[in-house]
Structure 1
Amino acid sequence: MNVQSRIGAESLTALDARCQIEDGTLTASHLLEACLERIDARDDAVKAWVHIDRDGARRTARELDAGPSRGLLHGIPFGVKDIIDTWDQPATYGSPIYKGHQPPWDGSTAALPRAAGAVLLGKTVTTEFANRHPGPTMNPHNPEHTPGGSSSGSAAAVADHQVPLAIGTQTGGSVIRPSAYCGAYGYKPSLQHFGNAGVRTNTASFDTVGIMARSVGDLALFRAVLSETPYKAPEPEAVSRPRIAFCRTPHWDQTLPETHAAMDETQKALTASGAEVFELQLPDFFDGLNRAHKIVCGFESVRNYSDELRRNPDKVSQDFMKERVEVGWASSLQDFREALRLGIRARTWLDAAMADGKIDAILTPPATGEAPHGLRTTGTAIMNFIWTHCYMPAVTLPRFKGPNGLPVGVQFVGRRHEDTRLLSLAAWADATLMNRAEAL
C-alpha cells in the first residue's frame, strides 16, 4: 500500500482526507498522528482544547484501519465543544463547578459522528456555560486577539489545522462569529435540524448545535451525519442568477471599515457572476429584537441554572451574572411573553419577505469586523442574533482580511429549513470569491 506521509495531512479537508482513506493512500492513524503533531506544536499558543483523549483516539483509529468502512466520516478526527456530553471524556461546561464531571452518555451530536466512523479527538474549550465569560483560547492568527465565543476552541482548532471538523453551539452568535474571527467555515443550521440531546442547556428557545470546517463541502458532509439524513453534496453548478438580498441590519453603525470593504467586494463579485444583488431593509420593529433576545436568554437561563446559582453561587462568574442572571431576575413573565411574540412576528415577516421576493439568500456581516484586540471579551454578537432568533440557517465564508491581517468573513443566511439550498449557494459564492481573488 502506497501510504501518504502524514506530513501535511493535518491541513486536508475532511472530504479530501476521506477520499484518501477510501483509496488507501492515507490511514486513519496517519491522519490522527498528523493532527496530534500539530496540536503538540501549536496548542500552547492557541489553547483550543480542554481535554485530549490520545489513547482512546489512537485505539479507535487502529480499529478503523483494521476493518471495513463504518460510514461517511470513517477515520476523520473531530472535536466537540465542552458544552456537549461525552461518555468517555469529561464534560465541564466551561465552569469550575463541573471540574472532573464525567457523564455516562454521549450527546447525540457526539454519538452520531462516532457511529459514522469519526474519531473523537477531544473536547474543545467553551466559555462558561456557552455564554460570554472567556476561556483560555487565543486567536490562532494573533494570540493578542480574541477567537470569539462561545465556541472558541472549536473555531480555533479547525482554523489552526489541529482537526478538520469540530462542533460548536450558537445561542446568539457563537458558531458564526468565532468562525469569522478565526478564519474557519461555519454553519449554524435551522433550529432543531441537529439534536440538542446531551447539550447543557443555555437558552432552550435558541440553542443550536453548529459546525466548523475547512470547506462548504465539509459542512455538507458533517451535516448529513449530524442530522442523520442522506449525504447530498452542494451543487454550486445548479445556482443560476440567484437573488441575493444585502441586509445591513439595524446595527450597521457598529460595523468597521474592513466589513464594509468585504461586503462591497462580495456584492461586486456576485453581481459579476450573474447574481441580482439588492438591498433588504428590515422594518423598524426589528430594532427591538436585540432587547427581546436578551430577555428570553436571561429569563430561561436563571431557570436552567437555578441549581448552580443556589448551591455554587461563588463559582459563577460576574460576566454570567451580569449578562444573563441579572437580566433574567429583572424580567417579568409579561416581558418574556412580549419578547417571544416579537420573535414570532420577526420570523413571520422574514419568511414572507424571502418567499414573496424570491430571495435565495441574505448577504450580511458575520461580525462587526476582524477579531478585537484583547482576551477579556469575546466580541459582540450584534450581527448574529437576528438570524439565530429567527431560526434561520447561516454560513460564514473566510475570504477576506482586515487591517491587522486577521480574517474577515461574509455571512449568507437562508430561509428556515432550506439548509440544503443555502449550502449550494454558499459553495457557489465561495467559488466566486475565490476566482475573483485569483483574478486580481
Structure 2
Amino acid sequence: MEPNRLTATEAARAIAAGRLSPADLMEACLARAASREPAVNAFVHLDPAQARRGAAKARPGPLHGIPFGVKDVLDTADMPTGYGSPIWAGWRPRGDSAAVAAARAAGAVIMGKTVTTEFATRHPGATANPHNLAHTPGGSSSGSAAAVADFMLPLAFGTQTAGSIVRPAAYCGVVGYKPTYGALHRAGMKVMSESLDTIGVMARSVADCALAMAAMTGRTLGDPEAKPGRAPRLGLTLGQEPGKAAPETVALLRRVADQARKAGAEVVDFTLPPELLKAAETHPALMNMETAQSLAWELNEARAQLSPVLLDRMDWARSQPMAAFREARLAQSAAKLCFARATEGLDALLTPSAPGEAPEGLGWTGDATFNLLWTTLWGPNVTVPAGTGPKGLPLGVQLVGRIGEDAAVLGWARWLQAAMG
C-alpha cells in the first residue's frame, strides 16, 4: 500500500517499528497532493520544502512523523493564517495556536493550511469534493475533509459552530470527530461563536481520531478497536427538522438501525423534548450574534472586504434585540441539562450526519440542520461513512453523546461501523 493511504494509526505503528520513515510518508503525501491539488484545491498554503524540513525534524511522540493539516482559522507561526478572508491575506502570526502547538509537541508534522470558508462561516473557498469535483466538500472545514478523503494526509483539524466538522466529513466519506466543547484549547483560533466553536479532527478511521485527540490532550480515550463487553442502547432520531432528510437518508438511518439491532443493540425511538427544540430554534441567533461581536473590527474597519452573504447575516444579527441573545443563551443552558436527563439509559443517539449527499456546485456548502443542535449541547459527535447515495457520493451517520463521554462515543462509533459490515 502507498504510504499516503495508510491511516494515521497504521502509519504511526510503521514508523515506530522502523518500517517507514517520516520523510518517506511525507513524500508520498506530497506526491498525492501534487497530482490532485490542482483539481481539489484543498490547501490554501502548501510549501513542499517546508513540509520536508518538518518531517526531517519531527519530534518523538505518539504522532511522530504524521502529516497533519491545519484549518486556516488556527494560527501557525511558520505559515500564513488568513481565516478565509482577503482582510487577513498574508498575515503571519508570531506563535502557533494551542491546538497546533499540541499537535507538534506530540510529534505531528504540519503539512499545510487547509481551505476554510470565510471566517469559518458561509462564503465558500475553492475546494471541490474529491469524489465528484462538481460537488461541494461541505464546510466550513472544506479543505481538511477533502485532503483527508483524497489521501493527501491522514489527519486534519476542523472546527465546528453548527456542522463544520461532521457535515463535510460525511460529504467526503471520512470520519469526523467534534469532541466535547473545550477539549482542545482555542487560544490562537479566530473564534466566531464563544458559546459554540469547538476544535476537532478528521481522519480515515475512528481509531485515528482517538489517537490524535489523546496525543494532543493527554486524555485517555481508550481503544475504539477493542470489542466492548456488550452492545449499545441507542436512541434513534431524525432531529428537529425530520422533513429535511432526503429519502436516501431516511432509508440509510433505518438500515443502519436494523444492522445495529442484528448485531445486538437495542435501538429505540427518541423524541426531542421541548427544551432541545427551543435550543435548535435559537441557535442561529446565538451563533450569528456572537459572530457579530467577534467580527466587530472587520465590520467597522474593513466592511467592503466581507462577502455579501456574511454581511447580510451580520447586519441581521446586529439588528436583533439583546433579549434574543439572552433567550438563546438560556435555551442552550436548559437544553444541556435536559439532554443529560432525557438520554439517561442510552449510550448515544443515532442520527443523520447531513440531509443527504453533497449538493452540486461549489457556491453552497450544505445545510447544518442535522448538526447544529448537537453542537449546541457541547457533547461529542462522531460521523462515520455509511454508504453512498443515488449519485454515488458518500453518506454518513453520526452518534451523539453526553458531555465528557467522548471515549464511549468513539467506541460505539467503531462498534457501529463493524455492525454495518
For residue 231 of structure 1, report the CA deviation from its aligned partner.
5.9
**Mind listing any 5+ residue stretches in structure 2 that lack a counterpart?**
none
- Alignment check: 8 A CA contact 2:238 2:245 kept: no
Q: What SS does the corresponding residue of 1:237 show, helix, strand or coil? A: coil
Q: Deviations over 1:152-198 (max 9, x none)?
A: 00000000100000001000000000000011100000111111111
Q: What does 1:27-176 align with in structure 2 at a 5 Å threshold?
A: 27-64=21-58, 70-176=60-166
Aligned residue in 2 for 1:337: 326
Which region of structure 1 is more displaced relative to structure 2, 93-102 or 20-29? 20-29
* Distance of 1:301 and 1:218 partners within structure 2: 31
Q: What SS does the corresponding residue of 2:20 show, helix, strand or coil? A: coil
Aligned residue in 2 for 1:350: 339
Aligned residue in 2 for 1:278: 268
Aligned residue among 356, 361, 366 for 1:379: 366
- Alignment check: 8 A CA contact 1:138 1:145 kept: yes
Aligned residue among 284, 303, 308 for 1:294: 284
- TM-score, normalised by the number of residues in structure 1: 0.94
Q: Deviations over 1:385-412 (max 9, x none)?
A: 0000111100000121000000000000
Q: What does 1:222-301 align with in structure 2 at a 5 Å threshold?
A: 222-230=212-220, 232-234=222-224, 236-301=226-291
Question: Which letter maps to 1:23?
Answer: A
1:414 aligns with 2:404: no
1:20 aligns with 2:10: no
Which region of structure 1 is more displaced relative to structure 2, 405-414 or 277-286? 277-286
For residue 143 of structure 1, report the CA deviation from its aligned partner.
1.0
For residue 291 of structure 1, report the CA deviation from its aligned partner.
3.5
RMSD: 1.2
For residue 201 of structure 1, report the CA deviation from its aligned partner.
1.1
Aligned residue among 3, 13, 18 for 1:9: 3
Change (3 A) 1:417 1:251: same
Which region of structure 1 is more displaced relative to structure 2, 424-433 or 124-133? 424-433
* Distance of 1:388 and 1:208 partners within structure 2: 8
1:370 aligns with 2:352: no
Aligned residue in 1 for 2:381: 394
Aligned residue in 2 for 1:200: 190
**Mind listing any 5+ residue stretches in structure 1 that lack a counterpart?**
1-6, 435-440
- Alignment check: 8 A CA contact 2:134 2:361 kept: yes
* Distance of 2:98 and 2:212 partners within structure 1: 13
* Distance of 1:406 and 1:384 partners within structure 2: 19
For residue 236 of structure 1, report the CA deviation from its aligned partner.
4.2
* Distance of 1:231 and 1:89 partners within structure 2: 31
Identity percentage of aligned residues: 44
* Distance of 1:162 and 1:35 partners within structure 2: 5
Q: What SS does the corresponding residue of 2:383 show, helix, strand or coil? A: strand
Q: What SS does the corresponding residue of 2:326 show, helix, strand or coil? A: helix
* Distance of 1:350 and 1:96 partners within structure 2: 40
* Distance of 2:399 and 2:277 partners within structure 1: 21
For residue 108 of structure 1, report the CA deviation from its aligned partner.
0.9
* Distance of 1:227 and 1:234 partners within structure 2: 17
- Alignment check: 8 A CA contact 2:221 2:407 kept: no
Which region of structure 1 is more displaced relative to structure 2, 377-386 or 329-338? 329-338
* Distance of 1:59 and 1:90 partners within structure 2: 17
Question: Which letter maps to 2:346?
Answer: I
Change (3 A) 1:285 1:60: closer
For residue 347 of structure 1, report the CA deviation from its aligned partner.
1.2
- Alignment check: 8 A CA contact 1:155 1:212 kept: yes
* Distance of 2:221 and 2:181 partners within structure 1: 19
- Alignment check: 8 A CA contact 2:163 2:371 kept: yes
